[in-house]
Chain A
Amino acid sequence: LDPAAEPVHAITFTSTTFRPGEQP
């Protein structure tokens, strides 16, 4: 295993807003 050949991995954080009474 060659660490230099490791691809870049993304951990994604996705936000949404919601109004009162809506399910988040």
Chain B
Amino acid sequence: GYQSFAVGAPGATVPAPTGTAVRTVGPQEAAKLVRDGELAVPVQVDSVSQGNKGLHYVVSPPEDWGSGVFGSADIALFPVASPRDCRTEVLSPQSLPEPSGLESTPVPSTYSTSTGPVTEHWCLYASHDG
């Protein structure tokens, strides 16, 4: 059957034919984090697996955030129901969910002819006290 895995900003996922995709943060996000003291980066994951193959994925943050802005920030990565739940207006260091597994099985291995993707959302939230 047909499989597809796509990751990106909400509404702008990019297909990953190899099955591995990345969402990056860099200088632009670091500047926002320093300026605002916090940062929320929503990530959308679209999964399709037709036939009787299920699809499972693992989310891996960097092993080392380095010694810069992100390295000195408090960082959380967690699933959210919608991108609206991944905004600095609704998040705070005190309101973060308990750490959960960084993996998901959006498509079970029961037979599926569905052509539409199963869409899931993740949130990277960082706070920095300057």
Contacts and interface: CB of A to CB of B under 8 A. Distances in A.
A12 B22 contact: yes
Contacts of A4: 27, 31
Interface residues of B, number: 44
Contact of B62 (A3, A10, A16, A22): A10
B24 interface: yes
Interface in A1-24: 1-22, 24
B60 A15 contact: no
A24 B31 CA distance: 38
Interface in B41-65: 43, 45, 47, 49, 52-62, 65
Nearest to A6: B30
A3 B37 CA distance: 13
Given A1-B72, A22-B109, A12 B59 contact: yes
Interface of A: 1-22, 24
16 contacts: A1-B34, A1-B69, A6-B30, A6-B69, A9-B25, A9-B66, A11-B43, A11-B60, A11-B77, A13-B20, A15-B19, A16-B57, A17-B3, A17-B56, A18-B54, A20-B54
Interface of B: 3, 5, 7, 16, 19-27, 29-31, 33-34, 43, 45, 47, 49, 52-62, 65-66, 68-70, 72, 77, 105, 109-110, 124
